[in-house]
Amino acid sequence: MMGTFNLPDMVAQGPPVKFLEKTMSIAFQVPDMTCGHCVKTITGAVTEAVPGAVVVADLPAHLVTITGTDQADKVEAAIRDAGYEPSRV
């Protein structure tokens, strides 16, 4: 039988951190990102080049959004090195 689960006090204390507002978001249009394999390749290349980066790819829109880093040049280079043509948006 399940008991009541109490969150630790430290979790309940203080306002939640609005980290999304503080996190820089970098977006690239990548027209030659055309399938799930491309998404995997780009995501892998970016996270390898910039550890901690979070990559969200919108395949129909050919849009790649990266949060968790402000190293736009490094991200762009990683996508380019993976064989794609990103343009900053």
Binding of Cu ion by 60 (CB under 5 A): no
For residue 35, state whether it binds Cu ion (rule: CB under 5 A): yes
Query: Could you give the CA distance from residue 45 to residue 48 in angstroms, rounded to a whole number?
Result: 5
Identify any residues that bridge with 67 across adjacent strands, giving them in sequence order: 25, 54
When binding is defined by CB under 5 A, the residue of 37, 51, 52, 60 that contacts Cu ion is: 37
The answer to whether residue 38 forms part of the interface with Cu ion (CB under 5 A) is yes
Give whole-number Cα distances, 17 to 7, 22, 24, 35, 61, in Å.
Answer: 17, 9, 15, 35, 30
* Cβ at position 35, least distance to Cu ion in Å: 3
Q: Which two tokens stand for residue 38?
A: 């491309």
The stretch near Cu ion (CB under 5 A) out of 16-24, 31-39, 52-60, 80-88 is 31-39
Which residues are at the interface with Cu ion (CB under 5 A)?
Answer: 34-35, 37-38
